[in-house]
Amino acid sequence: MSNGEPNNPYGPPPGGPQPGYGYPGAGGPGHGPQPGQPGYGYPQGQAYGYPQAPPVQPYGYGGGPGYGGQPPYAHWGLRVGGTLIDGLIFLVPYAIMLVGVTQDLPVLAIIGFLVFAGIGIWQLIREGRTGQTVGKSAVGIRLVSETTGQPLGVGMAFVRRIAHFIDGVACYIGWLWPLWDAKKQTFADKICSTLVIRSN
């Protein structure tokens, strides 16, 4: 018998090559593993020709999801410096108000009070929106949420100021707490889940 005859045991089988006949997946498209499929030299689930990129983890400030490392906490000296600068801003309107009260000058007292209150409201709004009062900006620190790392908003900044009352209880120990606390927090910071960090 010659090659190509129907009963030739050495010729190709009827219908062309079959899978396993000399190479895997023969028989044309759809008859075996194709490029990029499992079994074609690549691990299952991996893109054809490219390694799979590792997942990217977000960065956060707090201990919750997305926490990516320790933020640069502001030490106690910087916090005190920022508070003193903020206090000096209130000194002039307070002095005007005091003179008006002691000298029986009601108009002067009212002017001093309005300026004093206006500065306080402006500082609160500034801190809630940017994380910085004038004093905090001067010394390079910022107030942020422990969870998000973002400014608190005016409402929570106001709540935190009220919570500072707790810092004054028991000989003002809360104000000194950042000296030894791992996160440099006062009691008000712990209650409101806030951090004071270095901004530069």
Q: Give the pLDDT mean for 94-99.
A: 93
Inside any domain, residue 119: yes
Inside any domain, residue 57: no
**Residue-wise pLDDT tens digits, 14-43:** 555 555 544 454 445 555 555 555 555 545
Inside any domain, residue 89: yes
Q: What pTM was estimated for this model as a whole?
A: 0.64
Q: How many folded domains does the chain comprise?
A: 1
Inside any domain, residue 146: yes
* Cα angle: 45, vertex 49, 55; to 5 degrees: 55
Give the CA distances from residue 72 to residues 61, 65, 130, 135, in Å, rounded to whole numbers and listed in that order. Answer: 10, 19, 17, 18
Confidence of residue 9 (pLDDT cuts 50, 70, 90): low
Inside any domain, residue 127: yes
> How are beta strands 141-145 and 194-198 bridged, if at all?
antiparallel
Look up residue 134 and give its two tokens: 């004038």
Percentage of the chain beyond pLDDT 90 is 60
Inside any domain, residue 173: yes
Inside any domain, residue 133: yes
Helix (H) or strand (E) holding 196: strand 194-198
> Which range marks the domain in which residue 141 is found?
76-198
The per-residue pLDDT for 157 is: 96
**Cα torsion angle, 150, 151, 154, 155, sign:** positive
Inside any domain, residue 106: yes
Helices (H), the chain: 76-102, 106-130, 134-139, 154-176, 187-192
Mean pLDDT over the full length of the chain: 79
Distance CA(76)–CA(54), nearest Å, equals: 39
**Residue-wise pLDDT tens digits, 140-199:** 999 999 999 999 999 999 999 999 999 998 889 999 999 999 999 999 999 999 999 998
